[in-house]
């Protein structure tokens, strides 16, 4: 899924909007030719199952239409009238409600322009400037209430074979109690997905990894009334000695989430599940890995060499190189980061070994040439083995 900046790409068009479009003579163009019918809701449950819910027994439907397309068609329609002139990039600064006088700033040049009208209609949106002027007058009631929820728009692209990734004739909904996600289909077979959520939960999604985890996480809570911690949530084999440690850290993380969400359980529990899930899964995997390490790897010379190298690197690179066991046992680095760091360390050491191998090979080749040595290799093919003998003449 990709994040799409800006306001929603598509809109659900129903009978009232269609009536307006019909009056303007563009209903067929917008709804019938361009719109995608959504005959019901498709509800996606947390366990991955989905069920459809028709809007109407008679088969009536709503349509997904592109916001930009609707704007463009309506503007083109308006331009067809000889008495209509369109002025773009003019910001209304002030107006005289009784006289119909207006002052604009041209947003491109900064120039101020004035105009007068027989009728001034303020269609300047939720933060209307015209409304602000009206509010200065008596008898205008006004109430504004900000809800602690925001939204983020995302996109599910078409499949590689150019098809919709989900059944198209639905408004898809992922209801999750205090937040939800919806998806409307687009003409190009993509989906515009909108995630509506309390800001506090948005604020916990600080990295792409946490966001992915938020979508994938298996929750440890149900609603705002129940939660599992410790072994109830993530029982593991005992070989890392982390079961109780991890359970205690669960409490610390829960406390952090409660602080972040102002003690609102409905927000803190999903935030906790989302944050903790990948780390709990990581320590479950690490505990099993440590079983292999304890029963087998500790005898391996390569493992022991690696351990010595780890210790050496942690001395010469303090704070930058920490062996896995230390990260898990002596730090509060998230368990999932410990695994990621170990993978990075393995890669660095692997590359260093390759570079050293090539360098040693080159040095030996140069030394061999200088000594005038010839290498002859015999294969023991008759015996069917791959053993080779190297003779130095």
Ligand X SMILES: Cc1cc2nc3c(=O)[nH]c(=O)nc-3n(C[C@H](O)[C@H](O)[C@H](O)COP(=O)(O)OP(=O)(O)OC[C@H]3O[C@@H](n4cnc5c(N)ncnc54)[C@H](O)[C@@H]3O)c2cc1C
Residues that bind ligand X (CB under 6 A): 7-8, 11-12, 17, 91-92, 123-125, 129, 151, 194
Asked if 100 and 120 touch (Cβ cutoff 8 Å), the reply is: yes
Residue 147 CB, shortest distance to ligand X, in Å, is: 12
Q: List the structure tokens of 194.
A: 């909108």
Q: Based on CB atoms, which residue is closest to ligand X, 119 or 123?
A: 123
Nearer to ligand X, 13 or 286 (CB): 13
d(CA 132, CA 99): 16
CB burial of residue 151 (10 Å; 0-12, 13-18, 19+):
middle
Which residue do the tokens 């290498």 mark? 375
Is 30 within 8 Å of 162 (Cβ atoms)?
A: no
Is the Cβ of residue 11 or residue 268 nearer to ligand X in the bound state? 11
- Which C-beta is closer to ligand X: that of 79 or that of 231? 79
The whole-angstrom separation of Cα 28 and Cα 250 is 57
> Phi and psi of 375, rounded to 5°?
-105, 130
**Which residue number, 91 or 112, has a Cβ lying nearer to ligand X?**
91
- Residue 278 CB partners (closer than 8 Å, separation 6+): 209, 213, 217, 334, 336
**Rounded to the nearest whole angstrom, what is the least distance from the CB of residue 105 to ligand X in the complex?**
9
First vs last Cα of the chain: how many Å apart? 64
Give the nearest distance from C-beta 194 to ligand X in angstroms: 5
Q: What is the DSSP letter of 324?
A: H
Q: Which two tokens stand for residue 376?
A: 């002859």
Name which of 91 and 378 has its Cβ closer to ligand X. Answer: 91
State in angstroms the smallest separation of the CB of 165 from ligand X.
20
Among residues 93 and 311, whose Cβ is nearest to ligand X? 93
Smallest separation (angstroms) from ligand X to the CB of 117: 14
Q: By beta-carbon distance, which residue lies closest to ligand X? A: 125
Compute the half-sphere exposure of residue 253: CA atoms within 13 Å on the CB side of its CA: 27
Beta carbon of residue 81, minimum distance to ligand X (angstroms, whole number):
19
**Smallest separation (angstroms) from ligand X to the CB of 297:** 53
Task: State the Cα torsion 86-87-89-90 to the nearest 10°.
Answer: -130
């Amino acid at each position: 899924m990709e994040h799409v900046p800006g306001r929603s790409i598509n809109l659900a068009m129903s009978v009232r909007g269609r009536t307006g479009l019909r009056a303007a003579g563009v209903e067929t163009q917008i709804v019938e030719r361009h719109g995608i019918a959504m005959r019901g809701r498709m509800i996606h449950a947390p366990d991955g199952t989905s069920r459809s819910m028709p809007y109407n027994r008679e088969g009536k439907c709503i349509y997904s239409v592109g916001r930009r397309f609707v704007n463009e068609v309506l503007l083109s329609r308006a331009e067809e009238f000889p008495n209509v002139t369109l002025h773009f990039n003019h910001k209304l600064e002030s107006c005289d409600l009784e006289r119909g006088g207006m002052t604009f700033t041209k947003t491109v040049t900064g120039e101020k322009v004035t105009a007068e009208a027989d009728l001034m209609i303020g269609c300047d949106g939720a933060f209307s400037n015209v409304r602000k002027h009206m509010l200065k007058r008596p008898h205008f009631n006004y109430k504004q209430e900000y809800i602690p929820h925001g939204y983020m728009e995302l996109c599910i692209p078409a499949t590689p074979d150019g098809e919709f990734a989900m059944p198209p004739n639905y408004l898809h909904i992922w209801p999750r109690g205090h937040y939800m996600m919806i998806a409307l289909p687009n003409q190009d077979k993509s989906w515009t997905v909108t995630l509506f959520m309390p800001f506090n939960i948005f604020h916990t999604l600080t990295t792409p990894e946490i966001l992915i985890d938020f979508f994938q996480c298996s929750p440890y809570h149900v609603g705002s009334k129940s939660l599992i911690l410790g072994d109830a949530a993530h029982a593991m084999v005992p070989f890392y000695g982390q079961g109780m440690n991890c359970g205690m850290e669960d409490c610390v993380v829960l406390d952090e989430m409660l602080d972040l969400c102002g003690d609102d359980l409905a927000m803190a529990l999903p935030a906790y599940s989302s944050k903790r899930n990948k780390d709990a899964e990581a320590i479950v995997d690490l505990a099993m890995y440590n079983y292999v390490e304890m029963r087998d790897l500790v005898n391996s010379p390569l493992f022991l060499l690696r351990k010595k190298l780890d210790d050496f690197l942690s001395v010469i690179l303090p704070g930058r190189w920490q062996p896995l066991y230390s990260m898990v046992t002596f730090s509060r680095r998230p368990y999932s980061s410990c695994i990621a760091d170990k993978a990075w360390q393995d890669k660095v050491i692997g590359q260093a070994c390759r570079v050293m191998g090539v360098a040693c090979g080159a040095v030996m080749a140069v030394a061999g040439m200088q000594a005038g040595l010839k290498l002859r290799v015999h294969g023991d093919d008759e015996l069917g083995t791959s053993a080779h003998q190297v003779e130095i003449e």
